[in-house]
Structure 1
């Protein structure tokens, strides 16, 4: 399907033209038919050879209904720009053209209507001149008469050619449907309509509106029930009888979790003429409008603070409008999650950054330093390979520059916080020290000479013993030299000043091996035990092990349990043991 929006001044024949093309009346309200002008958005459709179904969104041309017109034009990629042969160039035509230019609409047809009432050449020439300064500068143009039918066949042919050049949207894209109508159908419930620009909506889908999930209970397109509709398409969604009352024109239904609701955005601006950007303009995006607070950053750039969060992405197009002067600015979203502006001169520096703004993964990562991959996706950043030197930990990404800075700070923190009796530093403590949101980032940042052991980050050199404990450890080495498995009794440990806390610290630092409370050996004693036990017939009993080690049951039992825990021996059901792999 293709969707085309009309544009132009009031009473220039937009609805008549749509009626002639489709055979249907887009003015659905009695008041519209009585007054002869469109008040609400109208929808009709037809079939064109070679391109298939074409839906028309007929927008009101009266100045009082400009917000309604922009709600219809916003999500539509193709325009029929209509001027009348028997009328001069009018202000509302200029405003609609400025809006289409601001939205970057480049596909369409310039149509001069009422060619049966006046020579269309002057109107065509003036319109051509006005369009030449906009994104519609290269669109084809022709004259028609909706009353006599003159030129309609040529218009259908030209429109077919134009629509054939429109790029097809991605049917797998995330859904973002701007609601332009809401009404209630007896026996069905709430129905909303809108133009689906991309993605696919299916019956049974769950969509989200302001964080509240709704289910698509039924789906209709061009007056027919369907199971699924890919964009671009006009769709009507049956949301059942329990749809939130807050869903109305300007609401947006999105794929849950796929978009980030934002309230502050940095944007690039075009147009506006000589008008000054007001402090409180109105932002039109999709079918939504909201008042914003605009802070100019520099020529062509501004920061917008929205009254209500909207699911905006990088490169979204929108319109800023001053209701007083009727000036219009084109908006291109550059950063939907910008940094705070604090220090003096930050606004101008920010504008300089935005001048070369890049939506690639590498550029976004460089600009943000540390960011979640899922956030980048919700903001519309292209999913690309990470640049060399970037760090990934779960959902978190670190830019190469930030990773280098963090590694330097990490080395400094380990050297500063580690103690002789506390080798290394817990990863959680280092995450807090570096201000990192996830402990996994510490692990990902560790590079030699640092290493991670048992949840602690250690340096490359062993810590020396404190002077108060060095004599005690030396004395233990003397005691155990002739009999490495004759662990000293509790009295001897107390005599040396080695209380349980000191023993635990010496064990963590690798200066002693504590196999159980009160059972202390020298580092490497467990490996020596494995060598001796390997000389025994396998499997062996506890008594055989005790004799081979030349020690008592007080030491042999916890030492064998230690070897079991560390995976070097296997305890059998009959309480015998054997070395792993034997």
Structure 2
């Protein structure tokens, strides 16, 4: 059975609470002050079973203008609205304000309950209905049925139930399979239980004993138990009115407006991009950076509206804007919101969230409007392209889902289509498929190749560069695993060659002239003759009258030919001699602890050379340093 919420709307004293009691048998005015004053102040809750057996959760909202913020807290998350208009009063100010809120929140299904129909003349009812039709004409409820009723005599209640049943049957079940999200509309304590919160579950499923996060207080809690319409349940699903008993949170820690969330899904934000419509009924234009009251979910926060393409938004107009808030909310792509003026307080507009975590807008952001238009259009493939383009690098399907806040199915289908269409490249990183725009990936490859080629032009004897240098210079935003995978990809594609931690362009060919051949032979002889005390290249450069950079390049060429081994900067050894040293160390000290002095004595060298040698042997796994000594592996 579908899970649906019915919410009331309408002017004070038009009989909303009386009608709900007549329909459900439940008095939703629970506060002593409400009963004393005869008006609803807080949200009231009930449940209604329709003739078909379909059950509706019911939220009864206050109608007084002072409590519109409470009405807004109850209006978010409802599926069907019951606009209550008294036949003897007809349309009143809060009727129109509540109707505007319903329209801004995008509630498409509803019925008008024409209350107190028993106390007016029959000739009067058609006139009131005609007036209501004119008010509904430009709203989402323009085709809503109007049912004359009386909460006192029972007149029209059966017809109202049947009408609600018809509406409920045509509403499609909620398709949002996102992790659970529950805006809190009530917080209280129960003896022996602790903190209890209530709200309408917007998405997903909640299970008893599950872990959850509560924002914006950013606390982790455990859900001890769940009630739905007063019945204890193991699971609650989207669309239900839910009460949760939370462990790990005191009543005073939270208030209406907080949100219970599945971990790792959404997060609080002080800023979001949106489309905003200013109501035609707004008393004046909205100026850039005007202070407003934002109503999102069950929260009300203060903030400012940044107009990005004008200085003034006129009544009836729509614009792409950025909200800067004084307190955080937990928005999601596609969420509806309402804004009210700071002072005097009045509903003036509303819209839809486009990006819940944008960068701060600046006038230099020329593509802001185009970006918002793309997000507003809702094309999932275009949205995936957008976020991949903005990250520059690799994203998993989960990262794209969390960033875009689209449905998981939309992400999967879009990625499949874009990969098959050749627009996206897929690479496995750390056992997960990662995605990158092919154009971006090609740019990274060209940058890599250009960097290697530029280095080779400057150093024709040495096409090799350290992996770490390349990463730090070009791809510092990549993780080590991402960069390693990228290198392997280029290696398999035949674009680069890799030798341990060194990389060169696969096409790079070192050409050694006759003069350089003589220098190579001379360098080799001097270092080989030096045995365990070879001359450093700084000394050789002076002796041979050479540029140190070129001499080191020639020495590195001999390293790649496996004739020399580079032990430290400007320090090279005969490769064959190093192999002999490894064998001697293992032969004489295998499994033993050895001091630098022991190795120095064995190799007949000085401390200047023995420490770099031992560091090299540590690196290649011959020895392992333990304090000031080594263990020979």
TM-score normalized by the length of structure 1: 0.80
- Correspondence 1:288 to 2:299: yes
2:323 to 304, 313, 329: 304
**Structure 1 residue 432: deviation in Å?**
2.8
Cα drift, residue 83 of structure 1: 0.7
> Which residue among 191, 194, 201 is the counterpart of 2:196?
191
Equivalents in 1 of 2:338, 2:39: separation in Å?
24
Report the 3-state secondary structure (helix = DSSP H, G, I; strand = E; otherwise coil) of the residue aligned with 2:117. Answer: coil
How far apart are residue 492 of structure 1 and its match?
12
Q: Report Cα offsets for 1:257-309 as digits up to 9, x if no partner.
A: 11132222111112422532251111111111111111112351111112223
- 2:258 aligned partner: 251
* 267, 278, 286: which one aligns with 1:260: 267
Quote the residue 1:207 is aligned against: 212
Question: Could you tell me how far apart the structure 1 residues matched to 2:104 and 2:261 are?
Answer: 24
- Tell me which moved more, 320-329 or 156-165: 320-329
Helix, strand or coil for the counterpart of 1:26? coil
**Alpha-carbon deviation of 1:312?**
1.5
Q: Secondary structure at the match of 2:252?
A: coil
Q: 1:452 and 1:316 mapped to 2: Cα distance? A: 50
- Cα deviation code 1:224-248 (max 9, x no counterpart): 1111111110111111474363321
Q: Distance in 2 between matches of 1:287 and 1:162?
A: 25
Shift of 1:404: 3.1
Tell me the equivalent position of 2:153: 148
1:82 to 55, 61, 84: 84
Once the two structures are superposed, the pairs formed by residues 259-408 of structure 1 within 5 Å of their partners are: 259-273=266-280, 275-278=284-287, 279-298=290-309, 299-323=318-342, 324=344, 326-344=346-364, 346=365, 349-357=367-375, 358-360=377-379, 362-368=381-387, 369-371=389-391, 372-373=395-396, 374-379=398-403, 380-381=405-406, 382-384=410-412, 385-386=414-415, 387=418, 388-391=422-425, 394=429, 397-408=435-446
Q: Which moved more, 1:44-53 or 1:287-296?
A: 44-53
Figure out how many residues of one structure are paired with residues of the other and give that number.
517
Structure 1 Cα separation of the partners of residues 462 and 326 of structure 2: 52
Where does residue 464 of structure 2 map in the other structure?
Answer: 424
Gaps of 5+ in 1: 480-486, 522-553, 555-564, 566-582
The range that moved more, 380-389 or 150-159, is: 380-389
TM-fit CA distance, 1:360 = 4.8
1:176 to 166, 181, 187: 181
Shift of 1:111: 1.4
Q: Distance in 1 between matches of 2:143 and 2:223?
A: 40
| Correspondence for 1:12 | 14
**8 Å contact 1:314–1:359 — kept in the other structure?**
no
What does 1:479-558 align with in structure 2 at a 5 Å threshold?
490=530, 505-506=556-557, 509-510=560-561, 512=563, 518-520=573-575
Q: What do the CA deviations read for 1:339-385 (whole angstroms, capped 9, x no partner)? A: 343354x3x64123322335455423433424344443224134134
Deviations, residues 415-448 of structure 1 (Å, cap 9, x unaligned): 2345456543334433332352424444555645
> How far did residue 139 of structure 1 move?
2.4
Q: Which has the higher helix share?
A: 2
Give the one of 24, 27, 31 matched to 2:26: 24
Equivalents in 2 of 1:11, 1:77: separation in Å?
24
The answer for unaligned runs of 5 or more in structure 2 is 310-317, 541-550, 577-602, 604-619, 621-633
1:451 alignment partner, one of 485, 496, 503 = 496
Partner of 2:96: 94
Paired residue for 2:509, among 462, 468, 475? 462
Q: TM-score, normalising length from structure 2?
A: 0.74
Per the alignment, in what secondary structure is the counterpart of residue 246 of structure 2? strand
